[in-house]
Amino acid sequence: MRHIISILLENEPGALSKIVGVFSQRNFNIETLNVAHTEDITLSRLTLTTNGDACVIEQIIKQLNKLVDVVKILDLTEVSHIARELMLVKVKAEADDRRAEIKRITDIFRANIVDVTTTDYIIQITGDEDKLDAFINALKGINEVVRTGVSGITRVWVKVKLS
């Protein structure tokens, strides 16, 4: 089962490397990884997705909790949450009828054309993984796709105790 794990950690050099090391040492795969500082610049929020049964996820969380830089870990999959991904897509758009088709598909998926050249459109879309995959399947002439990986947040406030 796919899990979204949110990790609050100290914003220090090498912290991300330690997290990734836990996964590589135990031969676990990180499917997506997204990290940036929070409203407190001394802390970063790392959101990753991985696959595993309950025992594997429990083992991962226990190992991550042992790291000094880790402040709090939450498996978002176990609580009510919102998860989104951002994707940029570059598509061929040379003919007028092709441009109209791309515009229609973009509107249907509530995406935005963020850049236009004489030969290409760059489209920005956010949503869950299924929506982004469906958008890719609906388009033809894709030159390039860039995805951020999942970002997630709980729907209810979860108190983080900083000790």
Cβ 111 vs Cβ 102: under 8 Å: no
pLDDT in tens, 88-115: 999 999 888 999 999 999 999 999 999 9
Q: Residue 94 and residue 119: Cα distance in Å, rounded?
A: 5
What average pLDDT does the segment 132-146 reach?
94
The DSSP output letter for 53 is: -
The answer to whether the pTM exceeds 0.85 is no
What is the predicted pLDDT for the residue at 163? 43
Say whether 82-151 and 2-79 share the same fold: yes
Superfamily of domain 82-151 in the CATH hierarchy: ACT-like. Chain A, domain 2 (3.30.70.1150)
What average pLDDT does the segment 9-19 reach?
91
Is the four-CA dihedral 97, 103, 108, 109 of positive or negative sign? positive
Segments making up each domain of the chain, as ranges: 2-79, 82-151
What is the predicted pLDDT for the residue at 158? 58
* CATH domain 2-79 topology: Alpha-Beta Plaits (3.30.70)
What average pLDDT does the segment 33-57 reach?
92
What is the predicted pLDDT for the residue at 50? 93
φ, ψ of residue 148 to 5 degrees: the values are: -85, -25
What is the predicted pLDDT for the residue at 52? 87
What average pLDDT does the segment 23-35 reach?
91
Q: To the nearest whole percent, how much of the chain has pLDDT over 90?
A: 75
Q: What is the enclosing helix (H) or strand (E) of 144?
A: strand 142-147
Q: Residue 73 and residue 64: Cα distance in Å, rounded?
A: 8
Closest CA to 2 of 83, 65, 72, 62: 83
